[in-house]
Copies of this chain bind each other. A is one copy, B any other.
Amino acid sequence: MKIEKNQVEQHNQQHSKQHERNFLFLAETLTNQGVDVGSLLQKIGNLQIAIPSWALGTGGTRFGRFSGGGEPRNLEEKISDIGLLHALNRSSGAISLHIPWDIPQDAEATKSLASSYDIIFDAVNSNTFQDQKDQKLSYKFGSLAHTHKDVRQQAIEHNIEVIKYGQMLGSKATTVWLSDGSCFPAQQNFRKAFQNTYESLQSIYSHLPHDWKMLIEYKPYEPNFYSTVIQDWGTSFLLANKLGKQAFTLVDLGHHLPNTNIEQIVATLMMEGKLGGFHFNDSKYGDDDLTVGSIKPYQLFLIFSELVEGMEDKNSKNPIPAWMIDASHNVKDPLEDLLQSVEAIKIAYAQALLIDRKELADAQHNNDTVKAQEIVQNAYRTDVRPLLAEARRRNKAALMPLTLFRELKVREKLVDERGKLTIATGL
């Protein structure tokens, strides 16, 4: 299924009057406050969020999985699904692949298919947290950190292979998420596990093309429940520093202990030039992988406030981070969930852009805590949705992506095409 340009145009036509009323009022309000609305719209419109290939099917928990229907059955259908999203919001123009779930059979054909949807290939992801059917050695007790050299070697080679697939498709980064760790005290020697991991990463790093980045994820627990080799940003940062200039830390919002001040971690990493990328999702308890902005939208805004500050800092040595959603859609339609997530990310971004940085810096310098709060909450309390809609309109995307998705009966058509009982590869 494909969404045609004229379907979007017709939808926009239909809602244009209402939209214009809202947008013009807001634009005037912001202009009066000294905001350059045109530049704001451009920034909002330009932000692209990569969609991971594994987020297009229904997710599950250890207790079970309740599939929806019409899930993509192969890489081509995954790309097509992201094409649907991108046609609706022009903000999802990248896909992040997961090897071995998404091995391209014909890289050129795959690239050209993606290109037909205006989609590029973001970071590639390795998988050493599961055993594949034909796999020689098991990752039950770890991969890059394993006590046995041959298991580590197998995992290293897999990661190098992942990079090769990425090169074929035009990716520029590889993300390493390790589930390595232990379920019980004393199961693992912390120091040897760290040392093994470091040496394994060095081997992979030595195969990294010179214009690539290695993004190192951290996570405190799950699927291991006592320790994780890369348990926090400090450990990831330590490894990234040891490895070299092309190694960076990747922040997944769900990978923190209760009450962590994530925005401060973001600020620190950007300050040190080591924030490589972001996995967006939301959570209340652990790595719940919920829709972005569904639980703690204010925290998301505060994180974007740091990102904006870091990105707009002329002296910053931090490259633009890779943006990606990493969620699990257990009870929602995956495509609808992704539309909501992208919307929430852009709302937070737009609000963060509205913060009066000069005024804020003054309030901070004077320790005027009340005023500093007023400044950021003024930005947060602003209803920026008309800005997002206008940015989409200018990019030929839909004013109301979710509404159009439902009006066009996209899911019903996908079920017709693909069947009710399909299961996305990798799930």
**Residue A92 is within 8 A (CB to CB) of chain B in the complex:** no
A230–B157 Cα distance when bound, in Å, is 39
A237–B260 Cα distance when bound, in Å, is 18
A360 and B186 contacting across the interface, CB-CB below 8 Å: yes
Within 8 A of B (CB), among A124-147: 129-131, 138-141, 147
Residues of B within 8 A of A340 (CB): 370, 373-374
- Closest chain-B Cβ to A139's Cβ sits at a distance in Å of 8
A61 and B290 contacting across the interface, CB-CB below 8 Å: no
B285 and A190 contacting across the interface, CB-CB below 8 Å: no
Residues of B within 8 A of A336 (CB): 370
Residues of B within 8 A of A399 (CB): none
B372 and A61 contacting across the interface, CB-CB below 8 Å: no
A259–B186 Cα distance when bound, in Å, is 17
User: Chain A interface residue count: which class?
Assistant: 35 or more
Knowing A233-B234, A272-B238, A385-B381, say if A267 contacts B223 (CB, 8 Å).
no
A374–B364 Cα distance when bound, in Å, is 35
* In the complex, residue of chain B having the shortest beta-carbon distance to the beta carbon of A382: B383
A342–B381 Cα distance when bound, in Å, is 15
* In the complex, residue of chain B having the shortest beta-carbon distance to the beta carbon of A360: B186
Within 8 A of B (CB), among A151-198: 179, 182-192, 194-195
B285 and A259 contacting across the interface, CB-CB below 8 Å: yes
**Residue A263 is within 8 A (CB to CB) of chain B in the complex:** yes
A259–B305 Cα distance when bound, in Å, is 24
**Residue A77 is within 8 A (CB to CB) of chain B in the complex:** no
Knowing A296-B298, A332-B369, A373-B185, say if A190 contacts B147 (CB, 8 Å).
no
- Closest chain-B Cβ to A313's Cβ sits at a distance in Å of 8
Question: Which of A25, A147, A284, A333 counts the most chain B CB atoms within 10 A?
Answer: A284
A402 and B373 contacting across the interface, CB-CB below 8 Å: no
Knowing A223-B64, A285-B225, A290-B225, say if A264 contacts B147 (CB, 8 Å).
no
Residues of B within 8 A of A291 (CB): 184, 373
- Closest chain-B Cβ to A358's Cβ sits at a distance in Å of 13
A235 and B141 contacting across the interface, CB-CB below 8 Å: no
**Residue A231 is within 8 A (CB to CB) of chain B in the complex:** yes
A60–B130 Cα distance when bound, in Å, is 11
A364–B192 Cα distance when bound, in Å, is 10
Choose one: B60, B231, B310, B363; the contact of A261 (CB below 8 Å).
B231
Knowing A147-B364, A286-B286, say if A373 contacts B186 (CB, 8 Å).
yes
B284 and A226 contacting across the interface, CB-CB below 8 Å: yes
B284 and A259 contacting across the interface, CB-CB below 8 Å: yes
Residues of B within 8 A of A347 (CB): 381
**Residue A297 is within 8 A (CB to CB) of chain B in the complex:** yes
Choose one: B138, B187, B272; the contact of A364 (CB below 8 Å).
B187
- Closest chain-B Cβ to A379's Cβ sits at a distance in Å of 10
Choose one: B60, B296, B309, B330; the contact of A183 (CB below 8 Å).
B330
**Residue A306 is within 8 A (CB to CB) of chain B in the complex:** yes
Residues of B within 8 A of A220 (CB): 259-261, 285
- Provide 25 A-B residue pairs closer than 8 Å at the C-beta atoms, listed in order of the A residue: A63-B129, A64-B131, A66-B131, A183-B330, A186-B360, A189-B364, A190-B267, A190-B271, A190-B306, A191-B309, A220-B259, A225-B284, A226-B284, A226-B295, A231-B264, A234-B235, A234-B237, A237-B238, A257-B260, A286-B286, A293-B377, A294-B373, A298-B298, A340-B373, A381-B385
Q: Considering the complex of A and B, which 4 residue pairs feature the smallest CB-CB distances, nearest first?
A: A234-B234, A66-B140, A225-B288, A190-B267
Q: Beyond the given A140-B331, A182-B369, could you list 14 further A-B residue pairs with CB under 8 A, ordered by the A residue number?
A: A62-B62, A62-B223, A183-B330, A185-B295, A187-B367, A187-B373, A191-B271, A220-B285, A225-B288, A226-B290, A257-B259, A298-B298, A331-B367, A332-B369
